Amino acid sequence: MEHLVNKRVQNIQISGIRKFFNLVADYDDVISLTIGQPDFLTPEHVKEAAKQAIDNNKTTYTHNAGLIELREAAVQFVHKKYGMNYDANDEVIVTAGASEAIDITFRTILEEGCEVILPGPVYPGYEPIIRLCGATPVHVDTRNDGFKLTASLIEKHLTDKTRAVVLPYPSNPTGCTLSEAELTDIAELLQGRELFVLSDEIYSELIFGDTHRSISTIGTMREQTIVINGLSKSHSMTGWRVGLVFGPKQIMQHMLKVHQYNVTCVSSITQYAALEALTNGINDAEPMKNEYLKRMNYVYTRLNQMGFEVEKPTGSFYIFPSIEKFGMSSFDFALKLVQEAGVAVVPGDAFSNLGEGYVRISYAYAMDTLEKGMDRLEQFVKAR
């Protein structure tokens, strides 16, 4: 019966991140630096809010878009933090993680034959959804531009089929961010054109030494930008599955229909936990970010001492060193690293073919784990 399965589904692959994570799961004594899972616990006050919601029988359906008080807290959060302005009534939807937000965005705005411009290398969660919509991902090579999708690179790839440009910054897997000047250049290029910007800002609270800026706040870009965020990274709530998507009313009214028939609404208990996180926990990310900064500096320094070519991250909790000089594919390098040194990283080709020649290291792990991982990596490199 498999031949009756939708051909587009047959042609997409399981995420390379998870594929490699599963591949090395059976190896003994492996230090895994693979998954973007914060090693911090969900804040206690957030967990208590969820427990209280259960005890108070807050277990019914909510509005499809989410609890109004949660939507109000969400728009207040992004306004206070980033100067963004949205109406809680009809310009924000609470989603089942940022992943569902990406899904309903693309399913709302894409049609057969459309093109979507993405930076490469890039998080692998966009391309499969684009292809399921019958659209074509257009990966732009950013390797010589500090992994940044600049206005000049975008301009070279714009066609009359371009329906959307994806700006996933801070970046997974590279850790790079866009400056205000770079965002302004992109805004000047794109504003007024009949296309959307999907701005994935899930790591917005994890920027080092600067404040996050959203392209939606520049010029008239708000009217053509869909902003995705959530609490997985900022509040260490990956398993709670709570995302947020913001956009202009005329677009969001259609996205709400897709969301409604997808999940009806996010878990009510999760929503009450999220409400606590966005209000009393508005600055919960600060101590986590400070720790990630220390870890980033440590890992970056160690990689440099080992002779890796690597861009210094300015956000998120990933670093993306080149392994080209070792003369191996990224998959072979990562596999040998597991087999010979007991360290797991993610092969760069999991982030499109433009990630070949790199590996992704997550430093969302305790310092002692990172120290052991870097020591083992150094031994592996010295043996080459």
Query: Is there a single domain that holds both residue 131 and residue 20?
Result: no
Q: 136 and 179: one domain?
A: yes
- 149 and 163 in a common domain: yes
Residue 47 lies in a domain: no
In a domain, 27, yes or no: yes
- Collapsing DSSP states into helix, strand and coil, what is residue 341? helix
pLDDT reported for residue 363: 98
Tens digit of each residue's pLDDT (9 = 90 or more) over 325-347: 999 999 999 999 999 999 999 99
pLDDT in tens, 42-89: 999 999 999 999 999 999 999 999 999 999 999 999 999 999 999 999
CA angle 172, 173, 177 (to 5 degrees): 60
User: Does residue 31 sit in the same domain as residue 135?
Assistant: no
* Domain membership flag for residue 375: yes
Residue 347 lies in a domain: yes
Is 49 contained in some domain? no
Domain-embedded: residue 171 = yes
Claim to verify: residue 143 and residue 292 sit in the same structural domain = no
pLDDT at 66: 98
pLDDT at residue 337, as a whole number: 96
pTM of the model: 0.95
Query: Among 236, 251, 279, where does a domain finish?
Result: 279
Domain that holds residue 272: 56-279
Residue 38 lies in a domain: yes
CA within 13 Å, CB half, 272: 19
267-305: pLDDT as tens digits: 999 999 999 999 999 999 999 999 999 999 999 999 999
Residues 120, 167: one domain?
yes
Are 259 and 188 in the same domain?
yes
Tell whether 132 and 14 lie within a shared domain: no
Predicted confidence band of residue 361 (pLDDT cuts 50, 70, 90): very high
301 and 230 within one domain: no
* CATH code of the domain in which 240 resides: 3.40.640.10
**Under a CB-based contact definition with an 8 Å cutoff, are residues 183 and 215 in contact?**
yes
**pLDDT of res. 281:** 98
Q: Which helix (H) or strand (E) holds 276?
A: helix 268-279
Residue 74 sits in the same domain as residue 223: yes
- Of 279, 300, 323, the domain-final residue: 279
Counting the structural domains of the chain, the total is 2
Domain CATH code at residue 297: 3.90.1150.10
Shared-domain flag, residues 271 and 344: no
Shared-domain flag, residues 118 and 209: yes
Q: With respect to residue 51, please indicate whether it lies within any of the assigned structural domains.
A: no
143 alpha-carbon distance from chain centroid? 19
Asked which of 279, 310, 325 is the last residue of a domain, the reply is 279
Partners of residue 228 on adjacent β-strands: 200, 245
CA gap 113, 200 in Å, rounded: 23
pLDDT, tens digit (0-9, with 9 covering 90-100), for 200-255: 999 999 999 889 999 999 999 999 999 999 999 999 999 999 999 999 999 999 99
Across the range 371-375, mean pLDDT stands at 98
| Distance (Å) of CA 370 to CA 12, 127, 308, 382 | 33, 31, 16, 18
